């Protein structure tokens, strides 16, 4: 069974920590051990695992992506969000996390982030467990 986490972004580019939301889904599903697959079915958003303890890390990543892939270049895609498509491709649309003892097996400083590159929008993340 696939479950979904809904998020609402507030700005064009932002990282939203969804770690606790994922952990809640694990608890609700009664998962003890296995693999948690997280997939973002959007072409202008992504998902990543990185440091969650210091918010400046997320700002640094977004700033670097914005410098590398500016919003206002002369892109062929005229919808106005070509940069978001490129950022999504670089960051990726899925991550896998081991679940052990009903908990995400993340490093001490790691968190799971939904990455918005074309907001603000309502988005969702598909969650699937393999025991």
State the pLDDT at residue 55. Answer: 95
Q: Which two tokens stand for residue 119?
A: 């907001």
In this prediction, residues 7-26 reach a mean pLDDT of 98
pLDDT tier at 82 (50, 70, 90 boundaries)?
A: very high
State the pLDDT at residue 100. Answer: 98
CA 68 from centre of chain: 19
Q: Which two tokens stand for residue 57?
A: 């890390």
State the pLDDT at residue 18. Answer: 98
State the pLDDT at residue 69. Answer: 98
Q: Which two tokens stand for residue 63?
A: 């700033």
Instruction: Kindly report the pTM of this predicted structure.
Output: 0.97
pLDDT tier at 65 (50, 70, 90 boundaries)?
A: very high
State the pLDDT at residue 19. Answer: 98
Helix ranges (H only) for the chain are 19-29, 55-68, 82-91
CATH of domain 2-130: 2.60.120.460
């Amino acid at each position: 069974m696939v479950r979904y986490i809904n998020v609402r972004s507030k700005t064009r580019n932002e990282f939203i920590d969804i770690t606790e939301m994922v952990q809640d889904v694990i608890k609700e599903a009664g998962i003890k051990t296995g693999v948690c697959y997280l997939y973002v079915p959007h072409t202008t958003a992504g998902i990543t695992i990185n440091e969650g303890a210091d918010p400046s890390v997320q700002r640094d990543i977004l700033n670097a992506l914005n410098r590398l892939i500016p919003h206002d270049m002369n892109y062929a895609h005229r919808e106005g969000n070509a940069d978001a498509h490129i950022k999504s491709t670089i960051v990726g649309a899925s991550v896998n996390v081991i679940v052990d003892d009903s908990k995400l097996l993340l490093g001490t400083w790691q968190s799971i982030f939904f990455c918005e590159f074309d907001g603000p929008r309502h988005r969702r993340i598909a969650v699937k467990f393999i025991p």
